[in-house]
């Protein structure tokens, strides 16, 4: 069961039984917060929400800055969905992912898994420790925050 509420057109918060995420568009960067376990339904809804959120950018370069809290581990099914999602998002202007995994229960495992996902998707990525570091790297990739 999911509950989606939108605070304003550039923000989406979605709750699922085992996890939740919040995404906000800041200039040309999607800022995301993830908590809990990513299920297949959650991953599919997340992809749809991201595509909808970046629609106003009309193909301009954009990036992703995400923070992971709690479990943060993907199942093989959700890992495959994330690879496909990243490949689709690259077609509509996504240029890079910066991830803060320090808040995950087992950061090293999350980093290892996401590095594998980003490599499979051929997505440029950075693991960082702060929003500032992530925004700076994304700006170098051509993605500007507000």
Residue 69's CB is within 10 A of a number of other CB atoms, namely 17
CATH superfamily membership of 3-139: STAS domain (3.30.750.24)
Distance CA 143, CA 7 (A): 24
C-alpha distance from residue 59 to each of 5, 48, 52, 90, 96 (Å): 25, 16, 12, 10, 14
What confidence score (pLDDT) does residue 130 get?
A: 97
The whole-angstrom separation of Cα 59 and Cα 13 is 23
Amino acid 2: pLDDT = 37
pLDDT number for residue 3: 37
**pLDDT at 36 (0 to 100):** 84
Domain ranges of the chain: 3-139
Look at residues 117, 121, 137 and name the one whose alpha carbon lies nearest to residue 129.
Answer: 137
**Quick one: pLDDT at residue 59?**
86
pLDDT of residue 1: 33
Q: Name the pTM for this structure.
A: 0.86
Backbone phi, psi, residue 59, to 5°: 85, -5
Q: What is the pLDDT of residue 19?
A: 79
Res 13: pLDDT: 57
- Is 29 in contact with 145 (CB distance < 8 Å)? yes
Which stretches in the chain have pLDDT values below 50? 1-9
């Amino acid at each position: 069961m999911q509950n989606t509420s939108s605070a304003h057109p550039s923000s989406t918060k979605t709750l699922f039984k085992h996890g939740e995420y919040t995404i906000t568009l800041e200039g040309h960067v999607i800022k995301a917060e993830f908590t809990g376990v990513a299920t297949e339904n959650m991953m599919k809804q997340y992809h749809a929400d991201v595509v909808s959120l970046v629609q106003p950018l009309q193909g301009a370069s954009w990036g992703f800055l995400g923070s992971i809290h709690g479990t943060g581990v993907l199942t093989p099914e959700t890992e495959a969905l994330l690879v496909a999602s990243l490949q689709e998002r690259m077609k509509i202007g996504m240029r890079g992912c910066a991830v803060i995994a320090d808040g995950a229960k087992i950061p090293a495992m999350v980093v290892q898994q996401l590095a594998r996902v980003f490599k499979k998707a051929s997505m440029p990525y950075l693991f960082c420790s702060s929003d500032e570091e992530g925004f700076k790297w994304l700006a170098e990739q051509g993605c500007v925050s507000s």
